[in-house]
Structure 1
Amino acid sequence: MRLILPLPDNEAFARRLADEGDWELGALETRRFPDGETYIRILSEVKDKAVDLVCTLVRPDDGFLRLIFVADAARALGAREVNLIAPYLSYMRQDRLFQRGEAVTSRSFARLVSSSFDRLVTVDPHLHRYPALSALYTIPTDTLHAAPLLADWIADEVEKPLIVGPDEESEQWVSAIAARIGAPHAVLRKVRHGDRNVDIELPDLSEWRGRQLVLADDIASSGNTLVDAAGKLYLQGFARPVVAVVHGIFAEDSFQRLAPLCDRIVSADSVQHESNTVTLAPLIAAAIGSTDAGDSDLVRHRRPPEPLDEVEQAGFDSFPASDPPPWTGGVN
């Protein structure tokens, strides 16, 4: 049996995922004590079930401890396996030392996740210097790709598209979208001067006049690359482009700056945003559902479950569902 258990602010995505696979949707209670610490209580039965925690990891610093607490609680309550469904996976950018003394946070984060989960499922992680997630994570990982979904949306919604990548790194990605729908593609050149300071150099696109430009990328984080590209394309006499991205983070005011320059902005629902148009639930459901018939082959977590001791279990069994277990300290 499989239980889909959403972390706070992930309920809508989890519901779509549960509906897609006809799985049980779980519930969680969480709040903060006056001292700022987090209270966690799983309200659903998890014993002997595959528990999939649904938590997109955009802005992870605010809720990562809560995620780990829920994973440990599910394991202690007898979950058969505890998996992480992270439509967006954070801490992938710092993949090497750029200056002496820096933390390579991608490796630190991978170690923390690998120590708490049996499996990781994510969509289009920002792999740059790593060939695959297996170079970082010590648990089985599923790297899913949303390019076909964006390509199908473009084919249905955009006439005579020209798929445009914002930089050289996007060549393989945009070429796959273009090939799927039989459209041409081009790639711009990005010169980065810092986290928020980039310049875009445009190639000669005059032969594609009359086509609708579609700026496609895996992630819109600061949004500055897309803003710069959209503005320069307009100055070259092209109509306002469509923007299609997988992960629409749109930090700070980038969406407000980009929107006037574009005909339309669409994103997948890996990160909750008003631009969400393409749902990833069917893609993820197919991936996690494919293991249901072959669970015995899953590589199990190296740490054994930590069941409740006799005192804790007795306290848990004696309290009705509406009361907190005694070891939580009530409602301090």
Structure 2
Amino acid sequence: MSHVVLAYPGNERLADALSAHLGSEIAPLEFRHFPDGEIYLRVKSRVAGKVAIVACGLDRPNDKVVGLYLLASTLRDLGVKRILLAVPYLGYMRQDQSFHEGEGVSARYFSRFLSSFVDGMVTVDPHLHRIHDLGQIYTVPSQVVAAAPAMSAWIAGHVEAPVLIGPDSESEQWVSQVAAGAKCPFVVLEKQRRGDHEVEVSLPDIDKLQGKTPVLVDDIISTARTMIAATEHVVRGGLSRPLCVGVHAIFAGSAYEDLLGSGAAQVITCNTIPHPTNSIDVYPGLAEGVRALL
């Protein structure tokens, strides 16, 4: 077989899905820590001459990048043909420019680092803002998988009379795609952020949404401040408790519990970051993205 899949610890479900979709064998990996925290790893399969597909989400990236680099370096020494990274969530995309004197642009630095030891990568809906395309900072081929089709299908199949609500004006193009796929209307909140943890929102024409099921949609749920503010606004407006749907389930600190406590009827996410809310499967799309790079 010309390609094998390796699961970075914690990514076994993704590796199994890639193996099933691509017809690839899984190369067993022994991974443990020495008493001082240093990493020991061993690839327990012959991989010389093959394409190595490494499954590794990069949420909480600081805990993973050293091990990922050591794994890639080991694979090189073992003679793999290429290394492809299946990374459902791509970290270090937030700081995409220097906002204050003395700041660095970590998105660019991290892209150089990853590009130095992989030959291609596939990810789901990276946080693109001032950087409009991964090719602007990554020097290896990349495939971006859109979560919108899977989200649309889930909403259409599970929600009665949905109306999608986007968190801010920047989300309009993305939310409109999900709404089009689900064949339902959408509106966009007007948002004003007052710091890292404070957000004020308003929903225009809230009376027009009566009788529908509000579905709040966002790409990344981190502190959940935006979703919490939107949920509280929707409930105050007399609408039914909203369903909150996100792509990437970061849920920093008590964000998940806080979101449920704000009045959300249910929280649903894609399986880019393992979490109990994962109900929308984007692994088939990731597998097809990998296939395009093989």
Q: TM-score, length-normalised on structure 1?
A: 0.86
Matching residue of 1:115: 116
Deviation at 1:12, TM superposition (A): 1.5
Residues 33-44 of structure 1 aligned to structure 2 (within 5 Å)? 33-44=34-45
Q: What is the distance in 2 between the residues matched to 1:249 and 1:285?
A: 22
Matching residue of 2:86: 85
Structure number with greater Rg is 1
Contact 2:156/2:183, CA 8 A, preserved across alignment? no
Matching residue of 1:228: 229
Deviation at 1:201, TM superposition (A): 2.2
Matching residue of 1:263: 265
Matched letter for residue 292 of structure 2: S
Deviation at 1:286, TM superposition (A): 1.4
Matching residue of 1:134: 135
The alignment partner of 1:194 has SS state of coil
Deviation at 1:291, TM superposition (A): 4.0
Q: What is the distance in 1 between the residues matched to 2:283 and 2:203?
A: 36
Contact 2:47/2:78, CA 8 A, preserved across alignment? yes
Matching residue of 1:201: 202
Deviation at 1:35, TM superposition (A): 2.2
Matching residue of 2:125: 124
Contact 2:84/2:290, CA 8 A, preserved across alignment? no
Which of these residues, 263, 279, 282, is aligned with residue 281 of structure 2? Answer: 279
Q: Name which of structure 1's ranges 242-251 and 28-37 shifts more when overlaid on structure 2.
A: 28-37
Matching residue of 2:77: 76
1:8 aligns with 2:9: yes
Instruction: Give CA deviations for 1:237-284 in whole Å, capped at 9, x if unaligned.
Output: 011111111111111101011124112211111000000001121111
Residues 92-103 of structure 1 aligned to structure 2 (within 5 Å)? 92-103=93-104
Q: Name which of structure 1's ranges 115-124 and 280-289 shifts more when overlaid on structure 2.
A: 280-289
Aligned length: 292
Deviation at 1:87, TM superposition (A): 0.2
Deviation at 1:17, TM superposition (A): 1.8
Deviation at 1:198, TM superposition (A): 1.6
Deviation at 1:45, TM superposition (A): 1.6
User: Between the two proteins, what is the percent identity of the paired residues?
Assistant: 40
Q: What is the distance in 1 between the residues matched to 2:160 and 2:171?
A: 22
Q: What is the distance in 2 between the residues matched to 1:191 and 1:11?
A: 40
Matching residue of 1:155: 156
Structure 1 runs of 4+ with >4 Å offset: none
1:191 aligns with 2:195: no
Contact 2:144/2:289, CA 8 A, preserved across alignment? no
Q: What is the distance in 2 between the residues matched to 1:174 and 1:195?
A: 23
Deviation at 1:202, TM superposition (A): 2.1
Q: What is the distance in 1 between the residues matched to 2:27 and 2:259?
A: 37
Contact 2:6/2:55, CA 8 A, preserved across alignment? yes
Matched letter for residue 156 of structure 1: G
1:174 aligns with 2:175: yes
Matched letter for residue 23 of structure 1: S
Instruction: Give CA deviations for 1:270-316 in whole Å, capped at 9, x if unaligned.
Output: 00000000112111111222344xxxxxxxxxxxxxxxxxxxxxxxx
Q: What is the distance in 2 between the residues matched to 1:10 and 1:291?
A: 20
Matching residue of 2:25: 24
Q: What is the distance in 2 between the residues matched to 1:212 and 1:180?
A: 17
Gaps of 5+ in 1: 293-332
Contact 2:86/2:290, CA 8 A, preserved across alignment? no
Q: What is the distance in 2 between the residues matched to 1:124 and 1:291?
A: 17
The alignment partner of 2:194 has SS state of strand
Matching residue of 1:296: none
Q: What is the distance in 2 between the residues matched to 1:228 and 1:202?
A: 11
The alignment partner of 2:85 has SS state of strand
Q: What is the distance in 1 between the residues matched to 2:190 and 2:106?
A: 27
Gaps of 5+ in 2: none
